[in-house]
Amino acid sequence: MKPMTKCVSILAITFAMTLQGCVVAVGAAGAVAAKVANDRRTVGTQLDDQNADSAVAFQWSKSDALKEQANLQVDVYNGVALLTGQAPNQALIDEAVERAQNVDYLKKIHNQVRVASPIGAGTQANDIWLASKVRTKLVADERVPALQVRVVVQDSEVFLMGRLSSLEATAAVDIARNVTGVARVVRAFEINQ
């Protein structure tokens, strides 16, 4: 192949790959926009919740003991924080909760951190798969507005958050309980009247 032909071929491939990336980016942006638009929270509340997630994680990062010995996750929905994961003793769990309480935005904290050794990569992979199965079942059921439900899984325990009616929340819990592999379902919903 001639040098000029090689150059044109490389440019054409690069251009095609760039366009594919643009299509993916536009598609992802569209999906995010649809989720934001269909969320029962205001856009401002959604941003505040994301900032609170980061603020709690930052508070935890100040503790060497929490960083080195615990596996912690925070999920904030409408000003309510769900703390999940594992820590080897109650003192570390208490520290994690205390540090989360330093975030002024939070209205309520659900402490669901378990006294246990941090779970391994295999269990984490299973939790991701389990969360995917639960989300799929929620999307397939017309009784539940799936975009309003946040699904968190830690060590086969399913935690459900969101703003739902009492009937929607009951249906979501029932659906999650009947997914193979779920050990327990914990409700952390805000019930709309």
How do the domains of the chain map onto residue ranges? 1-38, 43-115, 121-191
Q: Name every residue whose Cβ is closer than 8 Å to that of residue 101 and which is 6 or more positions away in sequence.
A: 109
pLDDT digits (tens, 9 = 90+) for 113-125: 999 999 999 999 9
- Do 43-115 and 121-191 come out as alike in CATH topology? yes
pTM of the full structure: 0.79
CATH topology of domain 121-191: Histidine-containing Protein; Chain: A; (3.30.1340)
Q: What's the confidence (pLDDT) of residue 193?
A: 72
Q: Report the side by side order of strands in the sheet with 108-115.
A: 71-77, 80-87, 108-115
Q: What is the CATH number of domain 43-115?
A: 3.30.1340
Residue by residue, what is the 3-state secondary structure of the chain? CCHHHHHHHHHHHHHHHHHHHHHHHHHHHHHHHHHHHHCCCCHHHHHHHHHHHHHHHHHHHCCHHHHHHCEEEEEEECCEEEEEEEECCHHHHHHHHHHHCCCCCCCEEEEEEEECCCCCHHHHHHHHHHHHHHHHHHHHCCCCCHHHEEEEEECCEEEEEEEECHHHHHHHHHHHHCCCCCCEEEEEEEECC
pLDDT classification of 36: cutoffs 50, 70, 90:
low
Q: Name every residue whose Cβ is closer than 8 Å to that of residue 84 and which is 6 or more positions away in sequence.
A: 72, 73, 74, 75, 112, 113, 152, 154, 157, 159
What mean pLDDT, rounded, does the chain reach? 88
Taking every pair of Cα atoms in the chain, the longest distance, rounded to a whole number of angstroms, is: 72
pLDDT digits (tens, 9 = 90+) for 42-73: 999 999 999 999 999 999 999 999 999 999 99
pLDDT classification of 4: cutoffs 50, 70, 90:
low
How far is the C-alpha of 34 from the C-alpha of 37, rounded, in Å? Answer: 5
Q: What's the confidence (pLDDT) of residue 192?
A: 86
